[in-house]
Amino acid sequence: MPLSAARLSFGYPPAALRPRDASPLAVNDVSLAIDHGALVGILGPNGSGKTTLLKLLAGILTPRAGTVTLDGRDVSTMPTRARARRIAVVPQETHLAFDYSVLEIALMGRYPHLGPFEVEGPRDLAAAETGLEATGTGRLASRMFQNLSGGEKQRVIIASALAQLDDGEASRVLFLDEPTASLDLKYQLEVAALVRRLHDEQHVTIVLSTHDLRFAASVCTEVVLLSAGRVLAHGMPRDVLTPAAIAELYEIDVSAAPLVIT
C-alpha cells in the first residue's frame, strides 16, 4: 500500500492555563491503508479529528504514537523538501500576509524543487502553468490573489499544489482539507467537478476531508468514517454510507433528517 498509517495517535497539548486537564486524543489509534490512485474522503462531524488526521498523514504534524509511511518510507523522518515533492496539502482557507499574483502563488509550489538560492526557470514556469490550466485558472495568472473569489482562491492553491507535485517521482498524494466548506453551492459544485477531473486526469492519490456526505458520496472512490478520533468504517461509499452508519456518525436520527441521504 503506497500510503498507510499504523496505529496513529495524536493529542494537542492541553490549554496553557489548565495544564492538569488531560486533553482527549484528537486521533486515537487509527490504522489506514490507501491505494495508489484512490480518491479517499475522510468524513466525520466537527471535531472528529479529520483535519488532524490529514495533517498527520501529510507529515505536517508528528504523531504521538504510530507511523505514516509512503511507499514504505516513514513520512515523519523524510527530509521536508523530499516529502513536499510527493505530498501536497491544500488547506481549507488561505489568508495571505502579503498579496501575490496568481502566477507567483503557483510558482511557490516549486519551492521543494529548487536549491536554497536557485530561482525558478522555464521548467518551473511550465509546471506552474500546467497546474493553473488543470484547475481552469490560467486566465487569472496575472491577477492578484486577494481580489479573487473564494472558489478561485481554492483552485489557485490547488494549482500551486499540482505544480509542487509535478515531478517524475512515483506515488504522489494530494490532501484537500474541507475543500468545499467555505464555499457557496456554485463553487462547491465547481470544486467537486475539479476534484473528480484531477482524479481522472492526473495520476495522483487524493485524500480529502469533508463533512458533506453528498459531496463524498458523489466524488470519492472510498470513504473513511471518523468519530472522536477513531475509524468507524472504511470502504466504498455505497457500502459505508448506510443510514445506520450515518446515524451513528452524526448522532442523529436519519429518518428525521431525510435531506442528508440521497
Partner 1 sequence: MTGAGSPSLPLHRGLPPGALPLRRGLPLVALCFVAMIVAVGAAPFIGSTPIRLAHVFSRSMPFADNVDAQIFFIARLPRALAAALVGGTLAAAGVIFQGLLRNPLATPYTLGVSAGASLGAMVVMTFGAAWSVGGVASASLAGAGLAVLVVYWLARARHSGLSTTVLLLAGVTLNAFFSALILFVQYLSDFAQTYRAIRWLMGDLDVASFAPILAALPLVLAAFVVFAWLARPLNLISLGADAAASRGVDVERAQRLAFFSASLATGAAVSVGGPIGFVGIIVPHLVRRLVGSDHRLVLPASTFFGAAFLIACDAVARTILAPLELPVGIITALIGGPFFLWLLIRRR
**What track of x and - describes contact with partner 1 for positions 132 through 171 (by CB under 8 A)?**
-xx---x--x--------------------x-xxx-x---
Residue 17 found at the interface with partner 1 (CB under 8 A): no
CA 156, 160, 165: angle at the middle one, nearest 5? 145
Helix (H) or strand (E) holding 73: strand 73-74
Helix (H) or strand (E) holding 49, with range, is none
Q: Is 20 in the site for partner 1 (CB under 8 A)?
A: no
User: Does 202 participate in binding partner 1 (rule CB under 8 A)?
Assistant: yes
Encoded amino acid at 79, one letter: P
* Identified binder of partner 1 from the candidate list 23, 31, 77, 94, rule CB under 8 A: 94
CB of 9 to partner 1, least distance (A): 17
Shortest separation between residue 194's beta carbon and partner 1, angstroms: 13
16 Cβ contact list (under 8 Å, min separation 6): none
DSSP 13-31: PPPTT-TTSPPPPSEEEEE
37 near partner 1 (CB under 8 A): no
Element (H, E) at 10: strand 3-10
Using CB under 8 A as the binding rule, whether residue 48 contacts partner 1 is answered as: no
| Size of site (CB under 8 A) for partner 1 | 57
Q: Report if residue 116 touches partner 1, rule: CB under 8 A.
A: yes
Q: Which is nearer to partner 1, 5 or 103 (CB)?
A: 103
3-class DSSP assignment, residue 177: strand
Exactly one of 117, 238, 251, 258 binds partner 1 (CB under 8 A); that residue is: 117
Residue 132 to residue 253: CA distance in whole angstroms: 43
Compute the distance between CA of residue 55 and CA of residue 171 in angstroms, rounded to an integer: 18
Given candidates 22, 119, 185, 244, which one binds partner 1 under the rule CB under 8 A? 119
